[in-house]
Amino acid sequence: MLKFVKRMLGLSKTESIRILMYHKILPEKEITSRDLLTVSAENLEEHLRYIKNNYNTIFFNDLKPGCQLKHKLILTFDDGYLNNLQYLVPLLEKYKLQATIFIPTELIQKCEAYNTPHP
């Protein structure tokens, strides 16, 4: 437990990779209610600018035994929302950053929306 607390406070000498996870991205003016899955495109751009200036983004398959992890970061976006294509991709290209988008493939052939409540 002490190791975990030290690592969370940045006091551990053990190197670990930083992974940031996002979901939905919308312009601030289109966010009607706050939920934990949505970040505004404006805030995301601030995050990406900071990341560009302080880290190198990598993919999971770039992690190798003995790989230097200092200043490396993995960006992930879950659920493959259309707004990832609309707002994320242009920002990734602008800042020349890499990210992994996880798409729930089980819904590809279905005509139902993700997060649709079922009776």
- 82-106, pLDDT tens digit by residue? 999 999 999 999 999 999 999 888 8
Question: DSSP of 8-31, one letter per residue?
Answer: HTT-------EEEEE-EEE-GGG-
pLDDT score recorded for residue 11: 66
> How many degrees, rounded to 5, is the angle at CA 63 between CA 58 and CA 65?
155
Alpha-carbon gap, residue 55 to 70, rounded angstroms:
8
The total domain count for the chain is: 1
Please indicate, yes or no, if residue 119 is contained in any of the structural domains. no
pLDDT score recorded for residue 67: 86
- 67-80, pLDDT tens digit by residue? 889 899 999 999 88
More confident residue, 72 or 35: 72
CATH code: domain of residue 48? 3.20.20.370
Please indicate, yes or no, if residue 8 is contained in any of the structural domains. no
- 7-18, pLDDT tens digit by residue? 666 666 667 899
| Helical (H) or strand (E) element with 38 | strand 38-40
Please indicate, yes or no, if residue 28 is contained in any of the structural domains. yes
* Residue span of the structural domain in which 94 resides: 15-107
pLDDT score recorded for residue 71: 92
Question: DSSP of 47-84, one letter per residue?
Answer: HHHHHHHH-EE--GGG--TT---TTEEEEEEES--HHI
Please indicate, yes or no, if residue 96 is contained in any of the structural domains. yes
Q: Phi and psi dihedrals of 112, rounded to 5?
A: -105, 150
pLDDT score recorded for residue 119: 42
- 40-63, pLDDT tens digit by residue? 999 999 999 999 999 999 999 999
Please indicate, yes or no, if residue 50 is contained in any of the structural domains. yes
Q: Which residues contact 88 (CB under 8 A, 6 or more apart)?
A: 25, 44, 77, 99, 101
Alpha-carbon gap, residue 102 to 23, rounded angstroms:
10
pLDDT score recorded for residue 39: 94
